[in-house]
Amino acid sequence: MSPDTSISPDIRRLLISGLALAPAGANVIMQLSRLPIGHAIVESTVDSGSLRKHPIKRTRTTLAYIMVALSGTEYERAAIRREVNAQHRLVRSDHDSAVAYDALDPELQLWVAACMFHGVIDAVTSFIGPVNDAQFATLLRHCSRFATTLQVSESRWPEDRSTFDDYWTKSICEVSMDDVTRAYLRGLASLDFLPAPLARTLGPSHRFLTVGFLPSPFREELGLSWTPRDQKRFEKIVSRAGMVNRHLPRALREFPWNLIELDTRRRIARGRSVL
């Protein structure tokens, strides 16, 4: 993937870190916490993109989209946009659906992109330090690509911190789960889509980190408890991880993003499908 020259080394350092995957489980739950999006995922018949049927592939393709959105050229972004659109056209509700949805809906895509940006801020704040206004503005402007690589126009992306905060506060009111989506999302937190031995081994720690990164409205919708003792343990884990990460060589600090970047660049250059 040819690096986009608008990405400075400092911005890359903030955006591309293996530890940025720590809030990923929570971020996916946030994205799917609006009923239309949750039902679209649960009911989707696009098996190639199913996390439960193809967990490794779905993880790779999700990271590939993020990597292209953040650091891809216009050509690469256009290529992955075509692939995403082709899959999204197949994800629409029908007369049997309990909730109406359309994966090409720009409003729903804006929410997903806003959640992804919220995840960026979570990761930077947790593992590097507080995000000042200048950094927030730079990251907000750059991460508009999460939205514009889909169907969202640049004009709909929040223009500054205040505008984003207003959008986020209003959008939290749209967070809603029913029995179907709640069960699915709790399963994601516990990794129950993995083979049973892996889910038993990795599930508890993943669930703990996921719940820790979730803002309280999402925890409440999921019906998950979180105690002051849990919070103290969570903060200690995050602090230690951030300390270790700061001393890693760049190649290790950016893993697995650097491998995803290399693989995605090769796929696009050879005309192969990324998704």
Assign residue 82 a region (left: φ > 0; alpha: ψ between -120 and 50; beta: otherwise). alpha
Q: Is residue 274 part of a domain?
A: no
Residue 14 lies in a domain: yes
For residue 231, give the nearest of 100, 126, 159, 85 by alpha carbon: 126
In a domain, 42, yes or no: yes
Cα–Cα distance, 264 to 269 (Å, whole number): 8
User: For each of the chain's 275 residues, which pLDDT tens digit applies?
Assistant: 444 445 677 778 888 888 888 899 999 999 999 999 999 999 887 766 667 777 888 889 899 999 999 888 889 999 999 999 999 998 999 888 889 999 999 999 999 999 999 999 999 999 988 999 999 999 999 999 999 998 899 999 999 999 999 999 999 999 999 999 999 999 999 999 888 999 999 999 999 999 999 999 999 999 999 999 999 999 999 999 988 988 889 899 989 999 999 999 999 999 898 88
Going by C-alpha positions, the residue among 115, 99, 106 that lies closest to residue 179 is: 99
Beta strands in 12-157 (DSSP E): none
Full-model pTM:
0.90
* Amino acid in position 124: V
Within a domain: residue 4? Answer: no
Q: Does residue 49 sit within a domain?
A: yes
Would residue 248 be called left, alpha or beta, if left means φ above 0 and alpha means ψ between -120 and 50 degrees? beta
The residues, ordered by sequence, that sit 6+ positions from 100 with a Cβ below 8 Å of its Cβ are 36, 93
- Residue 101 forms part of a structural domain: yes
* Total number of domains constituting the chain: 1
Range of the domain at 47: 9-269
Query: Residue 92 gets which letter from DSSP?
Result: B
Q: Could you tell me if residue 109 is inside a domain?
A: yes
In angstroms, the CA 37 to CA 215 distance is 19
Closest by CA position to 206, among listed 21, 43, 55, 76: 21
